[in-house]
């Protein structure tokens, strides 16, 4: 048994309509609840719109360049009994516990970003060696012989 459900744009704050700048899923994809579906951009920020629940994407109702607002249908998903059985019925309430702070790692951390941010980050910037120095750095006599950073 399966049912098709519309996933709509949730409350996005003080914006009347925002432009869709990126589609993150396609028809046939299996999505999970809270998975990002589209990226929208206002004059102040860009944000990803998450799925309210999981299933298989049956149709996408928006395209890049469309304007959407709270309540606009983004896509339709089919929640089959197999997908529904593997997905949790409701998120468990967060336990009140002290925050866990991880130690800094030397390993680089992978981050997710929108296409706009990724494109800006890929643009070359001036090499530091090509930037002329200004001023003169003088080291105090007490640091003579110490390695310089």
Query: Distance (Å, rounded) from C-alpha 44 to C-alpha 140?
Result: 47
Residue 75 lies in a domain: yes
Domain count, the chain: 1
Residue 39 lies in a domain: yes
pLDDT of residue 24: 96
Domain span at residue 63? 2-86
Helix ranges, 11-133 (H): 81-86, 115-122
Dump pLDDT digits (tens) for 60-117: 999 999 999 999 999 999 986 554 444 444 444 444 455 555 555 555 555 555 666 6
pTM: 0.53
Q: What CATH code is carried by the domain that includes residue 80? A: 2.40.50.100
Residue 59 lies in a domain: yes
Q: Between the ranges 20-24, 103-107, 130-134, where is the mean pLDDT highest?
A: 20-24
Report the SS3 class of residue 84.
helix
């Amino acid at each position: 048994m399966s049912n098709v459900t519309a996933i709509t744009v949730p409350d996005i704050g003080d914006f009347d309509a925002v432009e869709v700048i990126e589609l993150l899923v396609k028809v046939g994809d299996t999505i999970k609840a809270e998975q990002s579906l589209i990226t929208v951009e206002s004059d102040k920020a860009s944000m990803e719109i998450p799925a309210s629940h999981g299933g298989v994407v049956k149709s996408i109702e928006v395209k890049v360049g469309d304007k959407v607002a709270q309540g606009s249908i983004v896509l339709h998903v089919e929640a089959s009994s197999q997908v529904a059985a593997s997905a949790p019925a409701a998120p468990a309430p967060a336990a009140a516990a002290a925050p866990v702070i991880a130690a800094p790692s030397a390993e680089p951390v992978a981050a997710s970003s929108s296409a706009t941010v990724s494109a800006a980050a890929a643009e070359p910037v001036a090499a530091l060696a090509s930037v002329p120095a200004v001023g003169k750095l003088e080291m105090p006599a007490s640091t003579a012989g110490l390695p310089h950073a």
